Chain A
Amino acid sequence: MRHMPERLPAIARGEALAALARNIAASGWRIYYDVSPLFEEHWTGIPVVAAGLAQVLLRMLPETTHFFYEHHLVTRAAVEDALGRGSGLFLHRDFFKGPAQNGVVPLFDWGAHALGIYPSVKRVRQLFPLECSIVHDLSTLVTPQFHEIANIRYHAESMMSDLRSNAVTFGVSRATVEDIAAYLGIDERRLAVAYNGVSWPWWFPIQVENEREPADADPYFLVLGTREPRKNIVRIFEVLALFPELLDSVRIVIAGRMGWLREQQMIPPELEKAIATGRLVLPGFVSEFEKYCLLSAAAATIYPSFFEGFGLPVLESLSVGTPCIASFSSAIPEVGGPLCTYFDPFSAESLYRAIRAVLADPPKQRVDFREACRATAERFTWEQMLFQILTRMMPEMERHDSIAIGQLKLLEHTPSPSVPERRRRGRPAPV
């Protein structure tokens, strides 16, 4: 069974979110949004999600939203600047040099009306009366073989504390929510799904038209993602080694920054000729616009990942109408639905068959496929993600309104009676 987000029309969802935002603003609640993921220079994965949500918060709840990093408030202007640049390079610099700081998080003077939203791991927790955070996957716990030890420890050491201090924890897919419940025993009533979204600047499609490749160029398949072991890029290399004739008719472009562990050196020597002749292209990290260009012009994308909490590149591919050949692992089918061609991430033969199937009947040329892709892109938006978060948090906020702060885990101590008093109490009443 697939769990898809609510199929409300986009306009209705926008209105519902606006109404929700008005309610929150009117009720006097403040939203504190952790911008620590935005401090990365290159945004992929979690920083992209954090940026998407920040943009919607700025647009829908401009007066209610405040940004913070650990115990410090961050200026709205610095966050807007980073969102405009698509990079946290200057945000990071300006915060640690001072100009982007806006004082400290007011810990004691807001009453009980502050909601902390953490788009990833909490660097500090239990600052706010109500907190929620987003879990993107349990890969450091469930597939630690793909991570460096320091990264595993960073996530493992804060995981349980984060979950316990949340009123609600959001997973970016049903698969992730189920993982949290099944592995960590968190009550499903304190878990909810908030699917990631996808959005592109309005000018990207226009600019792409100006930079389109010549029509006679060989089609290419795009592999998008940080080159880390979990992404299973080796399966692509294996296919190319086993079926080298594939490169006669298509090119392969593997875009993404260098990650960690062994895959950094994993380009097999037998593919060096393909690199030299331009049949296998490794451009490294690409900007958002370059990514959009590559996605738009690709015959298809290949996403062979072993484990994903969501699979953002799958959604990005479908959002521009490009079919995706994806591994059937974890949350990927939940996002790709019937639009992807799935394969076994352990099997090069299975991937090869999927590639051949797409080449034989290119979905990109079908109108119904393009329509379905458009519908998918409308279903997965950052507005929808924020809507899912706030809708689920509203009851918590209302419940919290009715609780006085003094009732939070206070243990009343009554002085024990003195010995004569105890004797007097224990004495039977005179008849």
Chain B
Amino acid sequence: MASQSRALKPVPDGAGGAAGRRRDRGALQSARLEAEFWARDAVVASVPLVEPGARAAVIAAVRHPCAQILFGFEAQLRALVRLAEARGTTLLLAPAPELFSAADSFAAFRRLGVSVGAAERLLHVRLGMARHARLLKQASNVILTGESHTLLPTSPPQHPFGSGDRVPAGFIRQLVYFPEQSPLSGLDGHRMPTAMLDDGAAVADLLAPGSSIAGTTPGAIPRLAAGWVGADDAAFCAELGLEIGSFAEFNTPSWREAWRGGERGGVPASLDWRRAVTLAGAAGDGPERLSPLLLPWNVANPASIVPSLIERLCRAGRWEDRALRLVVFPFNESWETAGTVAGLIQRLRAAGSEPATLRTMFLARLRADRAAALMRHIFPLAWVEGGDPECALTLARLAALGVPAVLVAPPPNLTLPRALMPRFSVLADEESRHDVLDAFGARLFMVPSLSARAVAALIGRSREEIARAAPPALLGRGGGAPDAAHA
């Protein structure tokens, strides 16, 4: 218990613990974005897309099939589509804005009825990770990122944009969702001018009229309100666009195979786990009254502690008896992260993780808005990594979905909007060293993380939270209270 009391710092509503105490430090002084900013001939978005998924150099953004819509840059894109629609603007998507240069390139725009020629007529909004930022020539370039860089590499990377908080000189402005987001700067260190989007811009897609959350709930959802989906319900979920597959059933077709494997014209290739099967196939033995925990995983965050957290849970043994089921939602998959999810699961298998354990951990992907309303019925709690640069954006989207969250190992300098403060945070009691060597150079991150006993305490406290919100029958296979060791 002593370790638990050290590790867990329940935070009164609205206070936010360490995060809340430091809320004002480094906050942006952003003016609201003026309405005329959108008044261009055309608004073009771009994201760190996987090239094979695109079928044209510029398309209507609404036609772009997202691999998952819950978090990350694809969620940003969905939200921006709704924002543009609300302003009567059609949002275009340029999968590779960097290829546009000469007048002949822009013929692709003209074919869509967009006249190009002066930067003030065309607005390019870059979404996603700052270190992936690209520019569109002959346009006004702004960057809208959900990131807030609370954990920077301790050694300066040689790559111009390797630190993650620097962007190309051609951007004229940074758009932010929350005033607490940390500012980006140019290569010379100058801070970019910022402007804040309207409240709710981060979740515009989820809360838009006509969305599943805004009232058009599929009729069958109420029967899921009793808790975890059983085998019969899994097919229903998948039909709505929620795919769930267990680590044990994970299949790893490579990027190349997925690209060539009859994907044309459909959903762009999923990088790692396209063939993840639904829960029905994975669980196999009928309905289970267990509590699923939603764990967003920003695979583009090189300093993420999610992989080590999962590995720790697998190594701990008898995870399957904990009555919790970890459902990992990887997001921000791109060319850079190909193999990340597969790599984790291969490591787990190589380390001798029990099949029984792997059957109780899942990968999931929300592909369609119709399934968004399912989330709060399925997931009584989410663990959100405090050191994730997109932590605030993830919390905002979970809040819109109605899924309560726990903040895991927030860095001391994290600042969050008051409305997004989770019920409690689990403070880091360790610091782990992440040596990263990738396309952005060699970097060293010192990352706040959780020890084994802190993880045990997190599990116990999570079960208490779930118990508070749900009938006891939902906990444990036979119902009843959580086991004493983790109470």
Contact = CB atoms under 8 A, between A and B. Distances in A.
Interface string A121-153: 000000000000000000001111101010011
Given A153-B159, A347-B56, A333 B101 contact: yes
Given A2-B102, A346-B56, A153 B439 contact: yes
Contact of A307 (B95, B98, B162, B188): B98
Contacts of B161: 141
Given A144-B439, A156-B159, A182 B99 contact: no
A159 B160 CA distance: 8
A346 B160 contact: no
A345 B168 contact: no
A347 B264 CA distance: 11
Contact of B54 (A141, A142, A143, A346): A346
A182 B101 contact: no
A268 B260 contact: yes
Contacts of A330: 98-99, 101, 105
- Looking at B103, B105, B161, B170, the one whose CB has the most chain A CB atoms below 10 A away is B105
B337 to A, nearest CB: 11
Given A344-B57, A345-B57, A333 B105 contact: yes
Q: What is the interface residue range for chain B against chain A?
A: 35 or more
Contact of B99 (A157, A160, A306, A347): A306
Interface residues of A, number: 43
Nearest to B255: A262
Nearest to A158: B158
Interface string A338-364: 000010111100100000000000000
A328 interface: yes
A104 to B, nearest CB: 27
A262 B256 contact: yes
B441 A156 contact: yes
A175 B168 contact: no
A183 interface: yes
A185 B167 CA distance: 10
Contact of B170 (A152, A159, A182, A342): A182
Interface string B52-72: 001111000000000000000
A181 interface: yes
Contacts of B168: 182-185
Contacts of A306: 51, 96, 99
Contacts of A142: 98, 134
Interface in A274-332: 306-307, 327-332
A1 interface: yes
A175 B103 contact: no
A334 B137 CA distance: 14
B276 to A, nearest CB: 22
B152 interface: no
Contact of B95 (A262, A268, A331, A346): A346
Contacts of A160: 160, 187
B459 to A, nearest CB: 37
A26 B339 CA distance: 60
A182 B103 contact: no
Interface string B372-406: 00000000000000000000000000000000000
Given A2-B103, A262-B256, A334-B101, 18 more contacts: A141-B160, A145-B335, A147-B439, A152-B159, A152-B439, A156-B162, A159-B160, A185-B187, A265-B256, A306-B99, A307-B98, A328-B102, A329-B100, A330-B99, A331-B102, A346-B57, A346-B96, A347-B55
Interface of B: 51, 54-57, 95-96, 98-105, 107-108, 134-135, 137, 158-162, 168-170, 186-188, 255-256, 260, 334-336, 438-441
The 5 closest A-B pairs by CB, nearest first: A185-B169, A182-B170, A145-B335, A333-B104, A157-B158
